[in-house]
Amino acid sequence: MGSSASTDRQTDPTSSVTGVGVGALVQQIGMAMIPVHFKQSYESIMQIVETVMKLRQFDEAPYNNNSIMLIALLRNAQMEPEAAEPCLQLQAVRDLSGAAGCEADLRAEERFERDRVFGRYATSIFRASWNMTAAGQASCMGVEEEDVLFSWFSDDSDKHCPKFMVLLDHDTASVVLVIRGTFSFKDALMDVVCEEAEFLDGFAHKGFIDGSRKVMDKCSNVIEKALIDNFGYQLVVCGHSMGGSVAAMITLELL
């Protein structure tokens, strides 16, 4: 028994991370005995373990990886001193630009106010996702119940999709797709499945790519109909935290 346990520790790469070895555990007791909630997350957990194992290379060759340089550059940028007297510099630009500068300032202020509306949706959806009634969800988002066109706050039996809503904002003439950020264990799993995958002409976070495509699979028809029924309305995709990343992926694929 002792030699067998020693062999498992040498051959199972997950044992040094998990203590028991997720892969070895599943092989020994079989998938049929694994709880349903664990089975749904098995692939993500194995991906996390693999990522953690890759990070061990920092202990062996801490200066031979590009990530170290990126971290160093980020820290250097964060340590740079702020520009002196930014308010005075801005005032000088306004004085030089005159009326044109004032007009630009007004446009910027209007744009900021519009964006703040969508930012409020991106944070309000956290409360809305825990409300069990359609009226309660609409109230959390600050819209009328009939303006909530679609919401997804549950899970399929075997796949996790980010939580989201599609609603109408008549003040800004917008169809708004709002995606909730990390707020559950399964959301966190999607966050940490951070292996790169092919995306458009490059690579991106695999978990966010998968999440963005699941969202669009569920609501693309709703959005298309809303834009037809509300001619002249724009589509706005927004979110906070993980929701912001998924929103960016959706926007890039729609462009």
Chain segment 133-145, per-residue pLDDT in tens: 999 999 999 999 9
CA dihedral 205, 160, 234, 113 (to 10 degrees): -80
Q: Work out the average pLDDT over 24-45.
A: 58
pLDDT in tens, 62-84: 445 555 555 555 555 555 555 55
pLDDT value for 63: 45
C-alpha to C-alpha distances, 71 to 15, 60, 78, 195, 250, nearest whole angstrom: 29, 17, 11, 18, 27
Q: Work out the average pLDDT over 210-220.
A: 94
228, pLDDT greater than 80: yes
pLDDT value for 89: 52
pLDDT in tens, 111-120: 888 889 999 9
Q: How far apart are CA 48 and CA 43, in angstroms?
A: 9
pLDDT value for 56: 56
Helix (H, G, I), strand (E, B) or coil at 196: strand
108, pLDDT greater than 60: yes
- pTM here is 0.62
pLDDT value for 28: 55
pLDDT value for 249: 95
Average pLDDT, the chain: 76
Q: How far apart are CA 63 and CA 79, in angstroms?
A: 21
125, pLDDT greater than 70: yes
Report residue 209 CA to chain centroid gap: 9
